[in-house]
């Protein structure tokens, strides 16, 4: 039962994160730069806040499109990977 409750929490967080990402891409546009910005912001928040399953795996997992971005445009591989890693490290550093 514990796993089911945790799974529902993560799924609810992911649904909320996807809705926020959709709203931002409708507002900012669905090009590569807004998606890159969302991914880097999500990675930064994950490193800085060290959230629980609802906010981390759920909300931020749904908010970012890190894996989808990798398939979308090969030219952004480097910038997305390095940007997300550096953002996570910066967030982690602030958390100390």
**In which element (H, E) is residue 78 found?**
helix 77-95
Indicate the domain borders of the chain.
2-95
Length of the chain measured in residues: 96
Q: What average pLDDT does the structure give for the chain?
A: 88
- The stretch 9-15 carries a mean pLDDT of 94
What is the rounded end-to-end Cα distance, in angstroms, of the chain? 35
Determine the 3-state secondary structure of 17 from DSSP: helix
**How far apart (Å, rounded) are the C-alpha atoms in residues 30 and 91?**
26
**pLDDT tens per residue, range 47-86:** 999 999 999 999 999 999 865 555 566 667 778 888 999 9
pLDDT computed for residue 75 by the predictor? 64
Give the orientation angle of helix 2-28 with respect to helix 32-49, to 10 degrees.
Answer: 140
How much is the CA Rg of the chain, to the nearest whole Å?
A: 14
């Amino acid at each position: 039962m514990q796993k089911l409750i945790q799974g529902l929490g993560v799924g609810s967080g992911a649904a909320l994160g996807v809705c926020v990402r959709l709203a931002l891409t409708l507002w900012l546009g669905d090009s590569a730069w807004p998606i890159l910005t969302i991914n880097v912001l999500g990675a930064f928040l994950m490193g800085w806040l060290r959230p629980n399953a609802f906010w981390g795996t759920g909300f931020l997992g749904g908010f970012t499109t890190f894996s989808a971005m990798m398939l979308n445009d090969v030219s952004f591989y480097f910038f997305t990977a390095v940007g997300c890693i550096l953002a996570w490290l910066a967030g982690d550093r602030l958390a100390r």
